[in-house]
Amino acid sequence: MPALLVFVVFLIAIAVSIPIGVSMILGSIAPIFLMGKGGSVVQLLNNTFSGANSTPILAVPLFILGGVIMAKGGISKKLFNFFSYFAGRMPGGLPCAVILTCLFYGAISGSGPATTAAVGSMCVPFLTDLGYEKKWSAGLIAVAGGLGVIIPPSIPFVLYSLATGVSTGDLFLGGVFPGILIGLFLMVYAVYYCVRHGEDRDLINARMKELRSAGFLKLFLDSFWALLCPVIVLGGIYTGFVTPTEAATLSVFYAIIVSLFIYKSIKVNELIPFLCESVKTYGGLAFVLAFATAFGRVLSLTKATKIVENFILGNFHSGIVVLTVLAIIFLILGMVMDTGPAIIILAPVLLPAVQALGVDPVHFGVVLVCCLSIGLATPPFGLDLFVAGNIAEEPPMSVARKAVPFMIAFLVALVIITYVPWFSTFLPNLLK
């Protein structure tokens, strides 16, 4: 009964549009005040402060700050020019270059909205000038921006690690092949669309000739430092030279050095506004993270986790079946709930049950994050959808209609990722 009360109060609070952090507080204190169960208010406060006082959690705001500096430093344009050099002359090559840029930029920012904003602000006007439909270009960016939360370093993977204790490095490795697979499926549809609807090849070839006129060496040297960033950050983690939190710190210093002294695309007096922007982005999530620990502790004391585990084990006897059901639930939740809070709430409650059915915790985390990343481009509350719509100056629902085929391509890749755990587990197992 106390466990049921926690969920009922929490869900009612969410339903009436109370912020999710406050909803967790209400759900946590309900059994304490109404039934005398779930610990005490003092314990709740102690758990809240212990949740905020965590070294690994520092990786989240640091990756956000590094992504902001890179975005303002024009890194996305360097990456796009590099990939356009190779793909631009192919049918659908420039939209494919956009997807490749989102893949690579995701390895810098770790955030879907940040990837959408940084790549979209440059690529949507560029594609539109070349004759591509503006709404279609925005739909492409909205879905491809979701790759930013799958390709490592991924902020949602850091949150999943904090919530479950699964290795952050293993999760980062687990996201590599799924992210590439999803990117490939998105590119296949982009090429199909461009072949079927046609492109202004004369205008595109003129732009490509202008880009190629400087020569590959000059382009490579111009893009080198942008390309090197994920190599340094991820290489440092996987070689054991730095922890994920230290890698996040490294990404900030690297972004500052490259943007200030090499590309000279920002000024020193702009760093404070970048800090303010990062704090605004992280502020709400930090509040949720702090109370997530207390919320999880109350769920544990009221045996809610055990109840959920017993329910799943009593009704499902196959890991594949339960993953199918949970994937559908995650896809629906992604439409109405932000990625971070959904992971913090769901992961620790569901992981024990799916592990008991033989599902690898890294694979479960990858499926969870992939499902929720589609929600970033799904109406009514997909954040990437609003970011892309704002860039294109188009209503989000109009962009959503053009994004549907890309979401279908994403879903096809998700089915493969869900039912073939190899994509998620090969690299983590290989490097153990």
User: What six digits make up the tokens of 170?
Assistant: 């293993």
Widest CA span of the chain, in angstroms? 74
Please list the alpha-helical segments (H only) found in 36-111. Answer: 41-52, 59-72, 75-87, 93-109
Q: How far is CA 154 from the centre of its chain?
A: 6
Q: State the average pLDDT over residues 230-259.
A: 82
Q: What is the mean pLDDT of residues 188-214?
A: 85
Please give the single-letter amino acid code of residue 230: P
Contact 103, 183 (CB under 8 A): yes
Answer yes or no: is pLDDT of 57 > 80. no
Mean pLDDT, the chain, integer: 81
Task: Categorize the per-residue pLDDT at 345 as very low, low, confident or very high, splitting at 50, 70 and 90.
Answer: confident
Between 175 and 81, name the one with better pLDDT: 175
The predicted structure's pLDDT at residue 38: 52
What's the pLDDT tens digit per position in 351-403?
888 998 889 999 999 999 999 888 878 876 677 888 888 888 888 888 888 88
Q: What does the pLDDT read at residue 39? A: 59
Cα–Cα distance measured from residue 82 to residue 14, given in angstroms and rounded to the nearest whole number:
44
Q: Kindly report, residue by residue over 8-56, the tens digit of the pLDDT.
A: 777 787 777 677 777 777 777 777 766 666 556 666 666 666 666 667 7
Give the pLDDT confidence score for residue 300 in this predicted structure: 66
At residue 1 the predicted structure's pLDDT band, cuts being 50, 70 and 90, is: low
- Among residues 416, 405, 343, the alpha carbon closest in space to that of 373 is found at 343
- CA quadruple 410, 175, 124, 187: dihedral sign: negative
Q: What's this model's pTM, rounded to 2 decimal places?
A: 0.85
Share of the chain above pLDDT 70, in %: 87
Q: Which SS3 state, helix, strand or coil, does residue 391 take? A: helix
Predicted pLDDT at 110: 63
- The average pLDDT across 116-135 equals 84
